Amino acid sequence: MSRSRSRRAYLALPPWLAHALRAQRGPVPWSAVTRGALSAGPLLLVAVQVGRTSLGVVAAIAAMLAGINDRPGSRRASVKRIGVPALGGAVGLVAGTYAGQQTGAVVLTVLLTFVGLVAGSISAIGPVASAVGTQLLVASAIGAGMPLPEPGWERALAYVAGAGWLLVLRLVLPTPGSLAGDFRFDGEREAVAGVYEAVAGLLDAVGGPEAMRRRAALTAALDHAQDALAGPRLRRYASSSAERRLHAQYAAALPLAEAATALAWAGDAVAERASEGPRRLAAAVRGNNHTGPLPAPSRSAPALRALDDALLHAAEVFDQGRGGDLHTRPRTPRDRLRAAFGSAGREYGLRVALCFGASSAVAQALHQGQWYGQHEHWYWLPATAVFLVKPDLGPLASRVLNRAAGTVLGAVVFAGFAAVLPRPEGLIALVALSGALIPVATRHFAAQTAVVTVLVLALVMVGGEPQASMGRIGETLLACAIVLITGHLPMPGQRGGGVRARLAAASDAAYAYLTHVLDEADAPRIGTPGTPSERRVTPAERPVTSSERRGTSSERPVTSSDHRAPLSNHRAPLSEHGAAPADPRATRWTLRREAYRTLAEARTAISLSAHELPALARHTEGADEVADLLERLVDTTTACAVHLDDTGRIGPEHTERLTALLGELAGQGERVGLRLPGTRRAG
């Protein structure tokens, strides 16, 4: 009773306050904890021992920021997620250092404002670009506001070395349990296995209230696996057999995901054994072994037949281990420029520039007015504003509350430690402890702020700055006020540009997916009439297994010869030159992945906007309803595709549902000011 009462009280809180109290859950990432303990603290210790303490402080700050970006995933993906932002930070450190040394306060403020405009605009490109923008701004503030004896290029080298040391640890140290196999691909293997587990979870939830949530979890698992496998590489394609096998196993999960989504759309519960096959495939991925016998689901409906065919196709892939496509299209430079200079990039860039420039100006004015007392450093105020102005860290009110609470807590904790710890040994140990806590603290912004506050205060105290807890609290509260004011100022153009940009991208991807499926239904078939290559294999023509003759669904050993025809004998339109046929199913899976991925990104942006203060949340009202309709449209399109593969046409129920959804979307899009792309009606 008390638990349900507390849950009702939590739900009754205003959205902006409820979000501030929400924290992520999950197991402790012990590998990341180990890397955090071995990064900033040991770097600082070595620097102190060789008499280059100031460079050690810079390297430790870089390692701390790299630790914030050290998230679960593959080693290859971590190169981009950790390394690219570090390069941006090094550029910012050089720019801030030389600008601070050679210009006056007014010119420096103008330059930092321009840096804020650039960093804010590129942050709209994606998560890695956002991390680049963050480190570019933070390092610029440190370079300009933390006077050090070394020249800018030495600081930049120390910064790259600090982040590079954590990246080396990420690439070299094995994760728990990975030594049993090829530890190089443990992140990829776990991500691909997670896709099969998510398929099984969706099949278990078909026909129940959890089906849509499980379908969203499947999208998240596919996105995570796609990112894990698509990291930067020296060669264009996978070079090792183990990596090619993982790519093939990921590609084999796509038809399973398609069939499971179609079953969830239909809403008819399936037998429990339907999810057993994907779970055994997940275990085979984790163990890097064969699948063994798989239970055969019933073949009484198109989606169930598609599920059975997909299981057999996956079993063949697991037996042969051939390479597979990730079904993703790389973003072109034009796409990135369009995102940076679009409505979201312009709005965010202006807001970041205003916050960063104003906080830098205020910090310099306070420094010249001796408000800092005996402190020479004024970087804290603009660096704090950088984290507060970033929308991907949560809604504005939530960020401000958590930043203020975390700073107060961290400053108080550090003041207590600083009074009793020996210097510098005790402070270095405190830096190492804080580095180990960062991977756990990233689950809540207030906890992350508290740990980072302790770490940075310990670093600068080792570097020679006096104890500054109270001053940092005051600067943080001042930064909160600046960001709150700037966040509510009117900007040129329409408010909520980030949400509308994400929603527009999701609608474009959904309509492209739908158009492809409708075109596939009308596509010309290859070959002369009456030949096997021209016809679709119907369920009545497909080979019948012994278990089906018995009318049972017993387990069967799966081999490459057991692969069924429908996955390979599908209609394909002629290529542009009339020679080799294009693969419409591969294109369809690529478009389907883009549709669900952009929809998930739009959902995230809409959720963050809905948890803003009412004055900001009202600008994106109705966006969630459009996202709901787009989600139903993509689900229905997937069901159409599965039905099309089975029967060669789109059923009347699907046509009716598509027509209704397109009509609803047209009305909702006009209401929220979103122009939806046009497409021909189904039917």
Pairing of strands 555-556, 294-295: antiparallel
- DSSP helix/strand/coil, 462: helix
CA distance 69 to 64: 9
Phi-psi bin for 55: left (phi > 0), alpha (psi -120 to 50), beta?
alpha
**Res. 675: pLDDT tops 70:** no
- DSSP type of residue 48: H
Point out which residues pair with 555 in neighbouring strands. 295
CA distance 80 to 439: 18
**Res. 570: pLDDT tops 50:** no
Q: Among all chains, which residue has been given the structure tokens 């302790």?
A: 454
Take residue 625 and report the two structure tokens written for it. Answer: 């309803």
- DSSP type of residue 103: S
* Residue among 583, 402, 589 nearest 480 (CA): 402
Span 358-379, pLDDT tens digits: 999 999 988 876 554 445 688 9
For residue 11, name the pLDDT band (cuts at 50, 70, 90).
low
What was the pLDDT predicted at 605? 87
Out of 241-255, 360-374, 499-513, which region has the weakest mean confidence (pLDDT)? 360-374
What was the pLDDT predicted at 542? 35
For residue 117, name the pLDDT band (cuts at 50, 70, 90).
very high
What was the pLDDT predicted at 651? 84
Span 409-423, pLDDT tens digits: 999 999 999 889 898
Q: What is the mean pLDDT of residues 646-650?
A: 86
Residues in the chain, overall count:
683
Strand locations in 368-436, DSSP E? none
What was the pLDDT predicted at 214? 94
**Res. 63: pLDDT tops 80:** yes
| Residues 35/170, Cβ–Cβ less than 8 Å | yes
**Res. 85: pLDDT tops 80:** yes
For residue 526, name the pLDDT band (cuts at 50, 70, 90).
very low
For residue 556, name the pLDDT band (cuts at 50, 70, 90).
very low
Span 467-481, pLDDT tens digits: 777 888 889 999 999
User: Which residues 6+ apart lie within 8 Å of 669 measured at CB?
Assistant: 507, 626, 675, 676
Take residue 547 and report the two structure tokens written for it. Answer: 């278990």
| Residues 415/458, Cβ–Cβ less than 8 Å | no
Q: What is the dihedral of CA 190, 191, 193, 199, to 10 degrees?
A: 150
Take residue 40 and report the two structure tokens written for it. Answer: 């900033």
Out of 35-39, 303-307, 452-456, which region has the weakest mean confidence (pLDDT)? 303-307
What was the pLDDT predicted at 6? 47
Angle of the 276-287 helix axis to the 186-205 helix axis, nearest 10: 170
CA distance 98 to 94: 6
For residue 428, name the pLDDT band (cuts at 50, 70, 90).
very high
Q: How much helix, strand and coil, in percent to the nearest 5, is found in the chain?
A: 70, 0, 30
| Residues 676/665, Cβ–Cβ less than 8 Å | yes
* Bond before 424 cis per omega within 30 degrees: yes
What was the pLDDT predicted at 398? 87
What was the pLDDT predicted at 409? 94
Q: What is the mean pLDDT of residues 190-205?
A: 93
* Residue among 451, 402, 410 nearest 611 (CA): 402
CA distance 155 to 265: 56
Report the chain's mean pLDDT, rounded to a whole number.
81
| Residues 340/467, Cβ–Cβ less than 8 Å | no
What was the pLDDT predicted at 37? 94
Point out which residues pair with 295 in neighbouring strands. 555
**Res. 320: pLDDT tops 90:** no
Name, of 83-87, 233-237, 319-323, 622-626, the range with top average pLDDT.
83-87
Q: What is the mean pLDDT of residues 95-102?
A: 92
74 phi, psi to nearest 5 deg = -85, 160
**Res. 581: pLDDT tops 50:** no
Point out which residues pair with 556 in neighbouring strands. 294
Number of H helices, E strands in the chain: 28, 2
Q: What is the mean pLDDT of residues 180-194?
A: 79
Strand locations in 193-308, DSSP E? 294-295
- DSSP type of residue 539: T
The CA angle 332-336-340, to the nearest 5 degrees, is 165
Distance of CA 138 to the CA centre of its chain: 22
Take residue 417 and report the two structure tokens written for it. Answer: 């430690």
Please give the span between the terminal C-alpha atoms of the chain, in angstroms, as a whole number: 52
CA distance 610 to 615: 11
* Residue among 73, 282, 62 nearest 160 (CA): 62
CA distance 92 to 118: 11
What was the pLDDT predicted at 297? 74
What was the pLDDT predicted at 672? 63
Kindly calculate the radius of gyration of the chain based on its CA atoms and give it in whole angstroms.
28
Alpha helices of 522-611 — where are they, by DSSP H? 546-549, 584-610
User: Which residues 6+ apart lie within 8 Å of 133 measured at CB?
Assistant: 88, 119, 120, 122, 123, 352
CA distance 436 to 30: 9
**Res. 126: pLDDT tops 50:** yes
CA distance 583 to 579: 12
- DSSP helix/strand/coil, 294: strand
Top-confidence residue, 160 or 233: 160
Alpha helices of 230-342 — where are they, by DSSP H? 241-266, 276-287, 302-320, 333-341
176 phi, psi to nearest 5 deg = -55, 130
Out of 241-250, 300-309, 539-548, 646-655, which region has the weakest mean confidence (pLDDT)? 539-548
Q: What is the mean pLDDT of residues 432-459?
A: 93
CA distance 77 to 71: 10
24 phi, psi to nearest 5 deg = -75, 155
Out of 37-46, 362-371, 596-605, which region has the weakest mean confidence (pLDDT)? 362-371
CA distance 536 to 528: 13
What was the pLDDT predicted at 238? 65
Take residue 377 and report the two structure tokens written for it. Answer: 């450093």
Take residue 159 and report the two structure tokens written for it. Answer: 């910064």
Take residue 221 and report the two structure tokens written for it. Answer: 């698992």
| Residues 395/606, Cβ–Cβ less than 8 Å | no
585 phi, psi to nearest 5 deg = -70, -40
What was the pLDDT predicted at 540? 34
